[in-house]
């Protein structure tokens, strides 16, 4: 009787571990998709911010006197970082939501 119970428990543990491995692989894929989408958004945001920032420093007297290179880099990197985290977070949440409906 005890031996049958041990076999049943080990089968249950194997099924549980397989399910856990599957969920872990799915979570890794979701986070990878989020990282890639965030990186693409950060690149686009960097270009979209750098062009007007650098152009304004060349053309506007106020920007020329008040925006030193450190301030310019801070503006560009802040926008890029915000774009990365916002898009990555939204992508991961959308992917997780899609997968939770698929598994339910």
Intra-chain end-to-end CA distance of the chain, in Å = 35
**pLDDT the model gives residue 4:** 53
Q: What SS3 string covers 2-37?
A: HHHHHHHHHHHHHHHHHHHHHHHHHHHHHHHHHHHH
Least confident of 19-28, 29-38, 71-80, 87-96: 19-28
CB-based burial of residue 80 (10 Å sphere; 0-12 exposed, 13-18 middle, 19+ buried)? buried
pLDDT digits (tens, 9 = 90+) for 35-91: 999 999 999 999 999 999 999 999 999 999 999 999 999 999 999 999 999 999 999
pTM of the model: 0.76
């Amino acid at each position: 009787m005890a031996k049958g119970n041990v076999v049943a428990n080990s089968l249950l543990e194997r099924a549980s571990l397989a399910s856990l491995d599957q969920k872990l692989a799915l979570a890794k894929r979701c986070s990878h998709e989020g990282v890639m989408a965030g990186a693409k958004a950060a690149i686009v945001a960097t270009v979209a911010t750098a062009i007007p920032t650098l152009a304004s420093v060349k053309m506007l007297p106020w920007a020329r006197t008040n925006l030193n290179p450190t301030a310019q880099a801070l503006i560009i990197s802040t926008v890029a970082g915000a774009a990365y985290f916002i898009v990555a977070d939204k992508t991961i949440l959308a992917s997780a939501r899609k997968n939770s409906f698929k598994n339910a």
